[in-house]
């Protein structure tokens, strides 16, 4: 007797196909994920960021740079979402500068080639 393959799992009630999601929502979700991951890698989710087991400035630099590229390239499409995402990005850039033992020169920090220097 052969086994019949199990049917694919049903979609959850809240799931949507990608083709049904507006581009601004896809971009915003990606930006929020990068923003959250960057904050986590800076240790900002912990009471003592300097001693956070999740702190990894090299990873944070990569995430912040990716976020800067995404936000800068898509700002014209984000409408009213652009401002808060830029603010969050700038906050991460400043937190990175504060967390660095040897801060980058102005314009050389994570994402600053896309945003300009952050002070």
Tens digit of each residue's pLDDT (9 = 90 or more) over 20-58: 999 999 999 999 999 999 999 999 999 999 999 999 999
- pTM to 2 decimal places: 0.84
Q: How far apart are CA 75 and CA 115, in angstroms?
A: 11
Instruction: Check pLDDT > 70 for residue 11.
Output: no
């Amino acid at each position: 007797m052969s086994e019949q393959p199990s049917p694919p799992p049903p979609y959850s009630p809240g799931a949507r196909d990608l083709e049904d999601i507006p581009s601004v929502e896809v971009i915003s979700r990606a930006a929020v994920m990068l923003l959250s991951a960057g904050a986590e890698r800076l240790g900002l989710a912990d009471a003592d960021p300097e001693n956070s087991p999740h702190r990894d400035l090299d990873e944070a630099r990569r995430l912040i740079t990716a976020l800067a590229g995404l936000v800068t390239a898509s700002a014209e499409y984000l409408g009213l979402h652009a401002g808060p995402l830029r603010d969050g990005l700038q906050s991460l850039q400043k937190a990175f500068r504060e967390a660095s033992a040897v801060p980058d020169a102005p314009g050389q920090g994570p994402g600053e080639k896309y945003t300009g220097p952050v002070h």
